[in-house]
Amino acid sequence: MTPEKTLFSQIIDREIPADIVHEDEKCIVIHDINPKARVHLLVIPKKPIPTLFDLAPEDKDLMGHMMLLLPQLAQAQSLDGFKTQIHTGESGGQEVFHIHIHLLGN
């Protein structure tokens, strides 16, 4: 039995529509459907990693890629500052168990 695909894996596979801001070989960036700021983007790796606890040493380049992408995305959205959030685990507020970075700015 294969595990059920997450919402984000379904978006990556184009099974569910999303407002895509950026896509490359490693990640996809979408507008959050329930924004908490004027700009609220989700930076999602294409590799389905459930939580930060599940990161492996070979994921450092992927995570670095996502972190370096954040300021580029912010500038493209005309932000001169932003904050990021990564929820980890149910008690950390994580709702979709596929790691992602929230980029928020006003």
Distance, CA of 42 to CA of 56 (rounded, Å): 21
d(CA 54, CA 98): 10
Length of the chain: 106
Q: Considering the domain 7-105, what is its CATH architecture?
A: 2-Layer Sandwich (3.30)
Domain spans in the chain, listed from the N-terminal domain onward: 7-105
Name the residue among 18, 49, 37, 46 with its Cα closest to residue 77.
Answer: 37
Cα angle 60, 78, 86; round to 5: 35
Has 22 been annotated as catalytic?
no
Exposed/middle/buried for residue 84 (C-beta within 10 Å: 0-12, 13-18, 19+): middle
Write down the catalytic residue from 31, 40, 87, 100.
Answer: 100
The answer to whether 30 touches 72, Cβ cutoff 8 Å, is no
Each residue's pLDDT, cut to its tens digit, for the chain (106 residues) gives 456 899 999 999 999 999 999 999 999 999 999 999 999 999 999 999 999 999 999 999 999 999 999 999 999 999 999 999 999 999 999 999 999 999 999 9
What is the pLDDT at residue 3?
63
